[in-house]
Amino acid sequence: MLSITNREFNETIRTPDGAELPRSASFDLDKNAPANSVFYCERLGDSDYREVGSENFLQKLKESDAKQLLIFIHGFSNLPEPDIFPRAEQLQRLFDAKEKNLVEIVPMIWPCDNDLGVVKDYWDDQKSADKSAYSFARVLQRFMDWREEQREGDPCIKRINVLAHSMGNRVFRETLRVWDRYDLANGVPMLFRSTILMAADIVNEALEDGQAGRLISHASRNVSVYFASDDLALRSSKISNLKNMVASRRLGHTGPEDMGKVLSNVYAIDCDNFNNRYDFSAGHSYFLNDDVGNSGMVFAHLFKTIKSGRVDVGPAANRSKIL
């Protein structure tokens, strides 16, 4: 499985003189500060990684049999093993069971903490999420430059989608904000076909005009916001954010605060009827399968969105759906 990370390795950041990529790599789990460098990697097995470099990475994606790419940005307090890669592989299996070679999952791994308690981890991870934006903005620009280089010869025409879960939505929001500020003169391009904001741990006004999250709508053909009012993790998030004088409800808890204030490509999907069935008892990671391995209602819905490039919400004027 290919992946991108700004989490530090135990190995030196710079490839030693005379050495060539790919090279073996291992994560330094004692460090959760984002590295200034970005590493393009491949996972060969459990805790078995190698750095392949951006050129090899992009070429592998281009040569993949998958028709589309899905960048998976994980939530807080997640480590590469046993959290991020097993979940990404689970997501890949669900897609493959529905339609082989439709999607290739590409985890984007940012450094989370996992040591001194949930509340401290949460604050540490917020800082890490914000700082990771500078690394991942370079990834987006690298891809844009590479795609432009390919245009005259054999262009890569794969669709790109994003699934951001929990605090991964903060990473995504900040990445677009930094990219727009430092690299783009004419605003963010519509790089993503379908963007899935799953149990998003950002304020519920985030997609409105004047908010940093507005760029998510600009960068996407369509934006699906999945939310559940009894998501216990996001209830805790709201309480934790009071420390920073942020009292707003979370997007993954209520959906957009006012659908009239978001762009017309934003859709709200209410998952309150069943989220705890797929993630008992937190009701936060409800987009995969149930306790006996069956794909869930959310996965079925987002699969249809990614396959078709359109969001099924019934009457077009409504832009909301209760699953």
Q: What angle do CA 28, 34, 4 make, to 5 degrees?
A: 80
State the pTM of this model: 0.94
Instruction: Answer whether 207's CB lies under 8 Å from 173's CB.
Output: no
Bridge partner list, 226: 198, 269
Mean pLDDT value of segment 181-196 = 95
Task: Give me the mean pLDDT over the 124-139 stretch.
Answer: 94
Of the candidates 135, 128, 134, the one whose C-alpha atom is nearest the C-alpha of residue 113 is 128
Residues 77-116 have pLDDT tens digits of 899 999 999 999 999 999 999 999 999 999 999 998 766 5
Listed in sequence order, the residues at least 6 apart from 309 whose beta carbon sits closer than 8 Å to its beta carbon are 159, 193, 194, 221, 222
Average pLDDT over residues 50-67: 96
Residue 167 confidence class, pLDDT cut points 50, 70, 90: very high
Three-state SS for the chain is: CEEEECCCECCCCCCCCCCCCCEEECECCCCCCCCCCCEEEEEEECCEEEECCHHHHHHHHHHCCCCEEEEEECCCCCCHHHHHHHHHHHHHHHHHHHCCCCEEEEEEECCCCCCCCHHHHHHHHHHHHHHHHHHHHHHHHHHHHHHHHHCCCCCCCCEEEEEEECCHHHHHHHHHHHHHHHHCCCCCCCCEEEEEEECCCCECCCCCCCCCCHHHHHCEEEEEEEECCCCHHHHHHHHHHHHHCCCCCEHHHHCCCCHHHCCCCEEEEECCCCHHHHCCCCCCCCCCECCCCCECHHHHHHHHHHHHCCCCCCCCCCCEEEC
State yes or no: pLDDT of 202 exceeds 90.
yes
Q: Tell me the mean pLDDT in the region 263-286.
A: 92
At 117 the pLDDT is 47
Question: CB neighbours (10 Å) of residue 92?
Answer: 19
CA distances from 167 to 26, 100, 103, 121, 243 (A): 24, 29, 23, 12, 17
Q: Which residues of 55-91 are buried (b: 16+ CB within 10 A; e: fewer)?
A: eebbeebeebebebbbbbbbbbbbbbeebbbebbeeb
